[in-house]
Structure 1
Amino acid sequence: MSKWDEIKSRLEHLGGSVELLAGGHKLSLMKLHDRKRIFVRVYVDDLVKMEWTEAKDEQPVHSEGRFWRPMKRAAYPKKVYTSAKRALGKKEADRMVTPRVIGFVPDFGTEGAAVAHLKKHFPDLEILEPKEPKA
């Protein structure tokens, strides 16, 4: 079983968690729910700070943001494309409706999405063994 399969299997069930060491930081991945939505949240050094969500030129401002999911949004919805193309031209209309990274969020929709992101950006991460509870 590869380390990627092991991470997925530990996050398979609600409440599942795994601790990793990547890029000099301790990552804690937990499968949580918020009423009807189930997601995987990534804690960096046991913290989630909203200032880490900032992006500049589609890159994270803070180094901790690179462990999170890039959130992409377009400046305008696609339904304004045809009218913008007539008014402003094709090049400007394309720029208006093309999604760009506007921030980074600590939540991934599935464990597979979280593993794919980590696999792409941190192929040399290590899985930390779970601590034994004290009796």
Structure 2
Amino acid sequence: MNKWDEIKKRLENLGGSVELMADGHKVKLRKVHNGKKIFVVVYVDDYQKGEWTRHEDGKPVHPEARFWRPVKRAAYRKKGYNQLKRAFGKKKADQMVTPQVIGFVPDFGTEGAVVAHLKKHFPDLEILDSETEFKK
């Protein structure tokens, strides 16, 4: 079993968790619910700080936010694209309805989504055993 399948397996049940080491940070993933929705929450070095949600030009300001899910939204809906095109022109209208990163949030909808994100950005991460202590 490879490490990606191991991460998914540990997160398949509610309350499941896994600790990882990536780029010098201890990342903890935990499957939780808020009464209505089940999702995977991400802690970096045992913290979640609100200031990590910020971005500049679609890139995170704080390096810890790289482990979080980027949130993308468009300034305007595609529903009004024809009106935007008439008012601003095609090039500007295309920019207005194209989703752009507006921030980073510490949760993912499924364990598959978090694994896909980690696989893309941190291919060399390692899974920590429950007995392993984090050492800087």
Q: TM-score, normalised by structure 2?
A: 0.95
Q: Which residue number in structure 1 is paired with residue 38 of structure 2? A: 38
Count how many residue pairs are aligned between Structure 1 and Structure 2: 132
Cα distance between partner residues in 1 of 2:107 and 2:12: 15
The 4+ residue runs of structure 1 with deviation greater than 2 A are: none
How do 1:70-81 residues align onto structure 2 when only pairs under 5 Å count? 70-81=70-81
Deviations 1:6-26 (A, max 9, x none): 000000000000000001000
Superimposed CA distance per residue, residues 82-118 of structure 1 (whole angstroms, 9 cap, x where no aligned partner)? 1010111111111110000111111000000000100
What is aligned with 2:28? 28
Match of 1:86 in 2: 86
The Cα shift of 1:131 comes to 3.2
Distance 2:25 2:50 in 1: 17
- Structure 2 matches for 1:1-135, cutoff 5 A? 1-131=1-131
Partner Cα distance (1:125, 1:96) in 2: 37
In structure 2, stretches of 5+ residues that fail to align are: none
Report the CA distance between 1:80 and its aligned residue: 1.6
- The one-letter code matched in structure 1 to 2:85 is K
2:11 alignment partner AA: L
1:59, CA displacement in angstroms?
0.3
Distance 1:97 1:42 in 2: 30
RMSD: 1.0
- Calculate the TM-score normalised by the size of structure 1: 0.95
Flag structure 1 segments of 5+ consecutive residues without an equivalent.
none
SS at 2:14's partner residue?
coil
CA distance in structure 1 between the partners assigned to 2:121 and 2:79 by the alignment: 34
